[in-house]
Protein backbone atom coordinates (compact mmCIF):
# COMPACT_ATOMS: atom_id res chain seq x y z
CA UNK A 1 0.00 0.00 0.00
CA UNK A 2 1.23 3.47 -0.89
CA UNK A 3 2.19 5.62 2.14
CA UNK A 4 0.44 8.84 1.20
CA UNK A 5 1.71 10.67 4.29
CA UNK A 6 5.23 10.70 2.86
CA UNK A 7 4.24 12.76 -0.17
CA UNK A 8 1.03 14.65 0.55
CA UNK A 9 2.57 17.89 1.87
CA UNK A 10 4.97 18.10 -1.07
CA UNK A 11 2.14 17.66 -3.57
CA UNK A 12 -0.37 19.92 -1.77
CA UNK A 13 2.22 22.71 -1.93
CA UNK A 14 2.03 22.73 -5.73
CA UNK A 15 -0.17 25.39 -7.33
CA UNK A 16 -3.72 24.39 -8.23
CA UNK A 17 -3.61 21.17 -6.14
CA UNK A 18 -6.61 20.67 -3.82
CA UNK A 19 -6.24 17.02 -2.82
CA UNK A 20 -4.00 13.96 -2.72
CA UNK A 21 -5.17 10.37 -2.30
CA UNK A 22 -4.72 6.76 -3.35
CA UNK A 23 -6.68 5.50 -6.33
CA UNK A 24 -6.45 3.42 -9.47
CA UNK A 25 -4.49 4.66 -12.46
CA UNK A 26 -6.91 5.67 -15.22
CA UNK A 27 -6.05 6.29 -18.87
CA UNK A 28 -8.66 7.27 -21.48
CA UNK A 29 -11.40 6.49 -18.99
CA UNK A 30 -10.21 2.93 -18.34
CA UNK A 31 -8.50 1.55 -15.22
CA UNK A 32 -4.94 0.52 -16.04
CA UNK A 33 -4.05 -3.05 -15.08
CA UNK A 34 -0.80 -4.96 -14.67
CA UNK A 35 0.25 -8.10 -16.55
CA UNK A 36 -1.95 -10.22 -14.27
CA UNK A 37 -5.00 -8.05 -14.83
CA UNK A 38 -4.89 -6.37 -11.42
CA UNK A 39 -5.68 -2.64 -11.25
CA UNK A 40 -2.62 -0.47 -10.70
CA UNK A 41 -2.75 1.79 -7.64
CA UNK A 42 -1.34 5.29 -7.92
CA UNK A 43 -1.18 8.65 -6.18
CA UNK A 44 -4.20 10.65 -7.35
CA UNK A 45 -3.55 14.39 -7.39
CA UNK A 46 -6.74 16.46 -7.54
CA UNK A 47 -6.45 19.90 -9.16
CA UNK A 48 -8.93 22.73 -9.56
CA UNK A 49 -8.31 22.66 -13.29
CA UNK A 50 -5.85 21.06 -15.63
CA UNK A 51 -3.47 23.43 -17.38
CA UNK A 52 -0.94 22.89 -20.13
CA UNK A 53 2.43 21.68 -18.87
CA UNK A 54 4.00 24.52 -20.84
CA UNK A 55 2.22 27.00 -18.55
CA UNK A 56 3.88 25.53 -15.46
CA UNK A 57 7.41 26.01 -14.23
CA UNK A 58 9.57 22.95 -13.56
CA UNK A 59 8.88 23.15 -9.84
CA UNK A 60 5.12 23.52 -10.35
CA UNK A 61 4.46 20.29 -12.25
CA UNK A 62 3.12 17.09 -10.73
CA UNK A 63 5.88 14.51 -11.31
CA UNK A 64 4.97 11.37 -13.23
CA UNK A 65 6.46 9.37 -10.35
CA UNK A 66 6.61 10.30 -6.66
CA UNK A 67 8.44 8.13 -4.11
CA UNK A 68 8.56 5.38 -6.70
CA UNK A 69 4.80 5.45 -7.31
CA UNK A 70 2.94 6.62 -10.44
CA UNK A 71 0.71 9.68 -10.24
CA UNK A 72 -2.57 10.52 -11.90
CA UNK A 73 -3.77 14.12 -12.17
CA UNK A 74 -7.56 14.52 -11.94
CA UNK A 75 -9.49 17.75 -12.47
CA UNK A 76 -12.11 18.11 -9.73
CA UNK A 77 -12.73 21.82 -9.46
CA UNK A 78 -12.52 23.47 -6.02
CA UNK A 79 -13.49 21.34 -3.00
CA UNK A 80 -16.02 22.81 -0.58
CA UNK A 81 -18.57 21.81 2.03
CA UNK A 82 -21.90 20.91 0.44
CA UNK A 83 -23.84 23.87 1.79
CA UNK A 84 -25.01 26.03 -1.13
CA UNK A 85 -28.54 24.91 -1.91
CA UNK A 86 -29.56 24.75 -5.59
CA UNK A 87 -32.53 26.80 -6.67
CA UNK A 88 -34.46 23.65 -7.57
CA UNK A 89 -34.12 20.13 -6.26
CA UNK A 90 -35.30 16.78 -7.52
CA UNK A 91 -36.02 15.44 -4.05
CA UNK A 92 -39.21 16.78 -2.53
CA UNK A 93 -40.16 14.44 0.32
CA UNK A 94 -36.91 14.77 2.31
CA UNK A 95 -37.53 18.52 2.54
CA UNK A 96 -40.98 18.17 4.06
CA UNK A 97 -41.89 17.91 7.73
CA UNK A 98 -41.92 14.16 8.38
CA UNK A 99 -42.65 12.29 11.59
CA UNK A 100 -41.24 10.03 12.78
CA UNK A 101 -37.89 11.42 11.69
CA UNK A 102 -35.63 9.17 9.61
CA UNK A 103 -32.14 9.37 8.13
CA UNK A 104 -32.05 11.22 4.81
CA UNK A 105 -34.31 14.09 5.86
CA UNK A 106 -33.67 17.83 5.86
CA UNK A 107 -32.37 19.12 9.22
CA UNK A 108 -30.33 22.01 10.55
CA UNK A 109 -29.36 24.10 13.55
CA UNK A 110 -32.21 26.60 13.75
CA UNK A 111 -31.89 29.57 13.81
CA UNK A 112 -28.69 29.10 11.85
CA UNK A 113 -27.97 26.67 9.05
CA UNK A 114 -30.15 26.62 5.94
CA UNK A 115 -30.48 22.85 5.60
CA UNK A 116 -28.43 19.66 5.57
CA UNK A 117 -29.16 15.96 6.00
CA UNK A 118 -29.73 13.62 8.92
CA UNK A 119 -27.16 10.86 8.36
CA UNK A 120 -27.75 8.09 10.88
CA UNK A 121 -29.62 7.37 14.12
CA UNK A 122 -26.89 6.44 16.60
CA UNK A 123 -26.34 5.49 20.23
CA UNK A 124 -23.54 6.03 22.74
CA UNK A 125 -22.22 3.52 25.25
CA UNK A 126 -23.67 4.09 28.71
CA UNK A 127 -26.59 6.20 27.45
CA UNK A 128 -30.17 5.15 26.76
CA UNK A 129 -30.69 8.21 24.56
CA UNK A 130 -30.74 8.14 20.79
CA UNK A 131 -28.92 10.73 18.72
CA UNK A 132 -29.07 12.02 15.19
CA UNK A 133 -25.70 12.18 13.43
CA UNK A 134 -24.88 14.83 10.85
CA UNK A 135 -22.11 17.28 10.00
CA UNK A 136 -20.53 19.90 12.26
CA UNK A 137 -21.37 22.54 9.66
CA UNK A 138 -25.04 21.43 9.64
CA UNK A 139 -25.91 21.21 13.34
CA UNK A 140 -23.01 22.90 15.18
CA UNK A 141 -21.50 25.58 12.85
CA UNK A 142 -18.84 26.76 15.33
CA UNK A 143 -16.62 25.46 18.14
CA UNK A 144 -18.43 27.18 21.02
CA UNK A 145 -18.93 24.62 23.81
CA UNK A 146 -22.50 23.29 23.87
CA UNK A 147 -23.04 24.56 27.43
CA UNK A 148 -22.16 28.11 26.41
CA UNK A 149 -24.57 28.33 23.47
CA UNK A 150 -27.85 30.18 23.29
CA UNK A 151 -29.03 28.06 20.33
CA UNK A 152 -28.83 24.26 20.31
CA UNK A 153 -32.16 23.44 18.69
CA UNK A 154 -32.16 21.27 15.57
CA UNK A 155 -35.28 21.31 13.40
CA UNK A 156 -36.70 18.97 10.80
CA UNK A 157 -36.93 20.29 8.20
CA UNK A 158 -34.10 22.82 8.20
CA UNK A 159 -35.08 26.47 8.01
CA UNK A 160 -34.46 26.65 4.23
CA UNK A 161 -37.28 24.11 3.89
CA UNK A 162 -39.67 25.91 6.21
CA UNK A 163 -38.69 24.45 9.57
CA UNK A 164 -38.84 26.74 12.58
CA UNK A 165 -38.61 26.39 16.35
CA UNK A 166 -40.26 25.44 18.56
CA UNK A 167 -42.83 23.43 16.59
CA UNK A 168 -40.28 21.68 14.34
CA UNK A 169 -37.53 21.03 16.90
CA UNK A 170 -36.53 17.35 16.89
CA UNK A 171 -33.21 17.33 18.75
CA UNK A 172 -30.72 19.37 20.75
CA UNK A 173 -27.04 19.64 19.86
CA UNK A 174 -25.10 17.56 22.40
CA UNK A 175 -21.57 16.97 21.08
CA UNK A 176 -19.30 17.70 18.15
CA UNK A 177 -15.76 17.23 16.91
CA UNK A 178 -14.17 20.71 16.66
CA UNK A 179 -13.02 21.90 13.24
CA UNK A 180 -9.57 23.48 12.96
CA UNK A 181 -8.89 25.91 10.13
CA UNK A 182 -5.72 25.48 8.10
CA UNK A 183 -4.97 29.17 8.68
CA UNK A 184 -4.76 29.16 12.46
CA UNK A 185 -2.18 31.66 13.71
CA UNK A 186 0.98 30.58 15.59
CA UNK A 187 0.55 30.25 19.35
CA UNK A 188 2.84 32.26 21.68
CA UNK A 189 3.64 30.56 24.99
CA UNK A 190 4.19 33.04 27.86
CA UNK A 191 7.60 32.83 29.53
CA UNK A 192 7.96 32.50 33.29
CA UNK A 193 11.62 33.57 33.17
CA UNK A 194 12.26 36.53 35.53
CA UNK A 195 15.27 37.72 33.51
CA UNK A 196 13.23 37.78 30.30
CA UNK A 197 10.44 39.67 32.05
CA UNK A 198 12.86 42.27 33.46
CA UNK A 199 14.49 42.75 30.05
CA UNK A 200 11.11 43.21 28.34
CA UNK A 201 10.00 45.73 31.01
CA UNK A 202 13.19 47.75 30.56
CA UNK A 203 12.83 47.85 26.79
CA UNK A 204 9.13 48.74 27.06
CA UNK A 205 10.07 51.65 29.36
CA UNK A 206 12.55 52.94 26.77
CA UNK A 207 9.94 52.50 24.01
CA UNK A 208 7.45 54.56 26.02
CA UNK A 209 9.95 57.36 26.60
CA UNK A 210 10.65 57.72 22.88
CA UNK A 211 6.96 57.66 21.96
CA UNK A 212 6.71 54.16 20.51
CA UNK A 213 3.49 52.16 21.00
CA UNK A 214 5.30 48.85 20.46
CA UNK A 215 5.52 46.63 23.54
CA UNK A 216 7.32 43.34 24.12
CA UNK A 217 5.90 40.26 25.84
CA UNK A 218 8.38 37.58 26.90
CA UNK A 219 7.53 34.17 25.49
CA UNK A 220 9.07 30.78 25.98
CA UNK A 221 8.73 30.07 22.27
CA UNK A 222 6.35 30.60 19.41
CA UNK A 223 5.02 27.36 18.06
CA UNK A 224 4.63 26.77 14.39
CA UNK A 225 1.05 26.33 13.31
CA UNK A 226 -0.62 23.67 15.46
CA UNK A 227 -1.71 20.40 13.93
CA UNK A 228 -4.51 21.56 11.66
CA UNK A 229 -5.43 18.18 10.23
CA UNK A 230 -9.10 17.25 10.67
CA UNK A 231 -10.49 13.73 10.46
CA UNK A 232 -14.23 14.40 10.63
CA UNK A 233 -16.90 17.03 10.14
CA UNK A 234 -19.37 15.46 12.55
CA UNK A 235 -21.80 16.28 15.35
CA UNK A 236 -24.70 14.66 17.18
CA UNK A 237 -27.92 15.87 18.74
CA UNK A 238 -30.05 14.08 21.33
CA UNK A 239 -33.41 13.19 19.79
CA UNK A 240 -36.59 14.52 21.42
CA UNK A 241 -39.24 13.06 19.08
CA UNK A 242 -40.23 9.71 17.66
CA UNK A 243 -37.74 8.28 15.16
CA UNK A 244 -37.48 5.50 12.59
CA UNK A 245 -34.02 4.10 11.77
CA UNK A 246 -34.98 3.24 8.17
CA UNK A 247 -33.05 5.19 5.53
CA UNK A 248 -35.14 5.53 2.37
CA UNK A 249 -33.97 3.19 -0.45
CA UNK A 250 -31.28 1.72 1.84
CA UNK A 251 -33.04 0.25 4.87
CA UNK A 252 -32.16 -0.05 8.54
CA UNK A 253 -28.43 0.41 9.18
CA UNK A 254 -27.16 -1.63 12.12
CA UNK A 255 -23.68 -2.73 11.01
CA UNK A 256 -20.53 -0.89 9.95
CA UNK A 257 -17.54 -1.48 7.68
CA UNK A 258 -14.32 0.23 6.66
CA UNK A 259 -14.52 1.87 3.21
CA UNK A 260 -12.13 0.46 0.61
CA UNK A 261 -10.92 1.46 -2.83
CA UNK A 262 -13.35 0.32 -5.52
CA UNK A 263 -16.22 -0.25 -3.05
CA UNK A 264 -19.68 0.50 -4.44
CA UNK A 265 -21.56 2.82 -2.08
CA UNK A 266 -24.93 4.52 -1.69
CA UNK A 267 -26.48 7.43 0.15
CA UNK A 268 -29.82 9.19 0.57
CA UNK A 269 -29.69 12.95 1.01
CA UNK A 270 -31.93 15.98 1.35
CA UNK A 271 -31.33 17.24 -2.19
CA UNK A 272 -30.29 14.49 -4.58
CA UNK A 273 -32.14 11.71 -2.75
CA UNK A 274 -30.74 8.28 -3.60
CA UNK A 275 -27.42 8.08 -5.43
CA UNK A 276 -24.94 5.28 -6.05
CA UNK A 277 -21.22 5.58 -6.72
CA UNK A 278 -17.79 4.05 -6.33
CA UNK A 279 -15.01 4.95 -3.92
CA UNK A 280 -12.23 6.17 -6.22
CA UNK A 281 -9.81 7.50 -3.60
CA UNK A 282 -8.86 6.39 -0.08
CA UNK A 283 -6.44 7.78 2.52
CA UNK A 284 -7.04 11.11 0.81
CA UNK A 285 -6.23 14.63 1.99
CA UNK A 286 -8.34 17.55 0.79
CA UNK A 287 -8.25 21.28 1.47
CA UNK A 288 -11.93 22.13 1.91
CA UNK A 289 -13.41 25.60 1.44
CA UNK A 290 -16.47 27.07 3.11
CA UNK A 291 -15.65 27.02 6.83
CA UNK A 292 -16.15 30.22 8.86
CA UNK A 293 -12.47 30.55 9.84
CA UNK A 294 -11.11 29.68 6.40
CA UNK A 295 -10.14 26.50 4.52
CA UNK A 296 -9.78 23.33 6.59
CA UNK A 297 -7.52 20.38 5.78
CA UNK A 298 -9.05 16.92 6.11
CA UNK A 299 -6.96 13.74 6.09
CA UNK A 300 -7.85 10.05 5.73
CA UNK A 301 -10.93 10.79 3.64
CA UNK A 302 -12.59 8.88 0.80
CA UNK A 303 -13.69 10.30 -2.54
CA UNK A 304 -16.72 8.97 -4.38
CA UNK A 305 -17.53 9.18 -8.08
CA UNK A 306 -21.22 8.81 -8.96
CA UNK A 307 -22.36 6.15 -11.37
CA UNK A 308 -24.20 8.95 -13.15
CA UNK A 309 -24.82 12.62 -12.42
CA UNK A 310 -23.61 14.08 -9.12
CA UNK A 311 -23.19 11.99 -5.99
CA UNK A 312 -23.74 15.02 -3.72
CA UNK A 313 -25.23 18.49 -4.05
CA UNK A 314 -25.96 21.42 -1.76
CA UNK A 315 -28.08 20.22 1.18
CA UNK A 316 -26.75 16.65 1.10
CA UNK A 317 -24.15 17.40 3.79
CA UNK A 318 -24.48 14.91 6.60
CA UNK A 319 -25.78 12.07 4.44
CA UNK A 320 -24.83 8.64 5.72
CA UNK A 321 -22.56 6.70 3.37
CA UNK A 322 -23.31 2.96 3.16
CA UNK A 323 -22.00 0.01 1.21
CA UNK A 324 -24.47 -2.04 -0.84
CA UNK A 325 -25.12 -4.26 2.20
CA UNK A 326 -26.49 -1.27 4.13
CA UNK A 327 -23.46 -1.06 6.42
CA UNK A 328 -22.34 2.40 7.54
CA UNK A 329 -18.95 3.24 5.97
CA UNK A 330 -18.79 7.02 6.18
CA UNK A 331 -20.36 10.45 6.57
CA UNK A 332 -20.62 12.72 3.52
CA UNK A 333 -19.64 16.35 4.00
CA UNK A 334 -17.94 17.95 0.98
CA UNK A 335 -17.31 17.65 -2.73
CA UNK A 336 -16.91 19.34 -6.07
CA UNK A 337 -18.37 19.24 -9.54
CA UNK A 338 -17.05 15.72 -10.06
CA UNK A 339 -16.61 13.94 -6.70
CA UNK A 340 -18.18 13.58 -3.29
CA UNK A 341 -16.04 13.38 -0.14
CA UNK A 342 -16.79 11.52 3.08
CA UNK A 343 -15.22 10.94 6.48
CA UNK A 344 -14.62 7.25 7.16
CA UNK A 345 -16.93 5.51 9.61
CA UNK A 346 -14.09 4.36 11.90
CA UNK A 347 -12.98 7.97 12.33
CA UNK A 348 -16.52 9.22 12.97
CA UNK A 349 -17.18 6.47 15.50
CA UNK A 350 -13.93 7.18 17.34
CA UNK A 351 -14.45 10.95 17.39
CA UNK A 352 -17.93 10.83 18.94
CA UNK A 353 -17.98 7.32 20.46
CA UNK A 354 -21.11 6.33 18.52
CA UNK A 355 -22.51 3.23 16.87
CA UNK A 356 -25.62 2.73 14.71
CA UNK A 357 -28.62 2.42 17.02
CA UNK A 358 -29.89 -1.14 17.34
CA UNK A 359 -33.41 -0.13 18.39
pTM metric for this prediction = 0.86
- Residue from 332, 282, 190, 317 nearest 3 by CA: 282
Query: What was the pLDDT predicted at 58?
Result: 86
Predicted confidence (pLDDT) per residue in 5-17, tens digit: 999 999 999 999 9
Residue 192 belongs to domain spanning = 188-222
Residues 252 and 338 in one domain: yes
pLDDT band at 270 (very low <50, low <70, confident <90, very high): very high
- Asked if residue 254 belongs to a domain, the reply is yes
Report the percent of the chain where pLDDT is more than 70. 85
Sign of the four-CA dihedral 258, 259, 263, 266: positive
Chosen domain end from 75, 95, 112: 75
Distance, CA of 199 to CA of 42 (rounded, Å):
56
- Residue from 285, 319, 290, 289 nearest 301 by CA: 285
Of 8-12, 225-229, 250-254, 321-325, give the lowest mean pLDDT range. Answer: 225-229
- Asked if residue 10 belongs to a domain, the reply is yes
Task: Report cis status (omega within 30 of 0) of the bond before 255.
Answer: no
Which residues partner with 68 through β-bridges? none
Residues 159 and 215 in one domain: no
- Asked if residue 146 belongs to a domain, the reply is yes
Residues 59 and 31 in one domain: yes
Residues 211 and 111 in one domain: no
Predicted confidence (pLDDT) per residue in 277-299, tens digit: 999 999 999 999 999 999 999 99
Residues 159 and 36 in one domain: no
Give me the CATH number covering residue 132: 2.40.10.120
- Give yes or no for residue 109 having a pLDDT over 70: yes
Distance, CA of 257 to CA of 330 (rounded, Å):
9
pLDDT band at 222 (very low <50, low <70, confident <90, very high): very low
- Asked if residue 216 belongs to a domain, the reply is yes
Task: Specify whether the backbone of 119 is left (phi greater than 0), alpha (psi in -120 to 50) or beta.
Answer: alpha
- Give yes or no for residue 265 having a pLDDT over 90: yes
How many domains does the chain contain in total? 3
Computed over every residue of the chain, the mean pLDDT equals 89
Average pLDDT, integer, range 54-67: 92
Average pLDDT, integer, range 215-231: 59
| Nearest 10 degrees: Cα torsion 49, 75, 311, 258 | -130
- Asked if residue 359 belongs to a domain, the reply is no
Query: What was the pLDDT predicted at 195?
Result: 54
Residues 66 and 85 in one domain: no
Residues 234 and 349 in one domain: yes
Q: Give every CB contact of residue 73 below 8 A, 6+ residues apart in sequence.
A: 45, 47, 50, 62
Chosen domain end from 57, 75, 93: 75
- Asked if residue 92 belongs to a domain, the reply is yes
Residues 62 and 199 in one domain: no
Residues 9 and 128 in one domain: no
Query: What was the pLDDT predicted at 203?
Result: 53
- Asked if residue 343 belongs to a domain, the reply is yes
Residues 263 and 125 in one domain: yes
CA angle, residues 74, 23, 262, in degrees to nearest 5: 120
Residues 103 and 52 in one domain: no
Q: What's the first-to-final CA gap in the chain, in angstroms?
A: 38
Predicted confidence (pLDDT) per residue in 70-104, tens digit: 999 999 999 999 876 664 444 447 889 999 999 99
Chosen domain end from 75, 101, 119: 75
Decide: 20 and 44 in contact? Cβ < 8 Å: yes
Residues 175 and 247 in one domain: yes
Amino acid sequence: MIDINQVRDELLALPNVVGVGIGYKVTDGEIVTDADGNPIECIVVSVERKVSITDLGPGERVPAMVAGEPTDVVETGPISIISNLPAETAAVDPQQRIRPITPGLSIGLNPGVTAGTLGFIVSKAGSSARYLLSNWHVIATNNTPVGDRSVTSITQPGNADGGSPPSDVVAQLSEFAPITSSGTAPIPIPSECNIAAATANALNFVAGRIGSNTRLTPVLETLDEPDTDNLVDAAIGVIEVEYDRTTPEIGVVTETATPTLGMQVQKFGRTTSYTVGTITQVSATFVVQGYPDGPATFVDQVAITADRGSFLAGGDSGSGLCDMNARAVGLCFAGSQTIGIANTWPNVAAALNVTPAQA
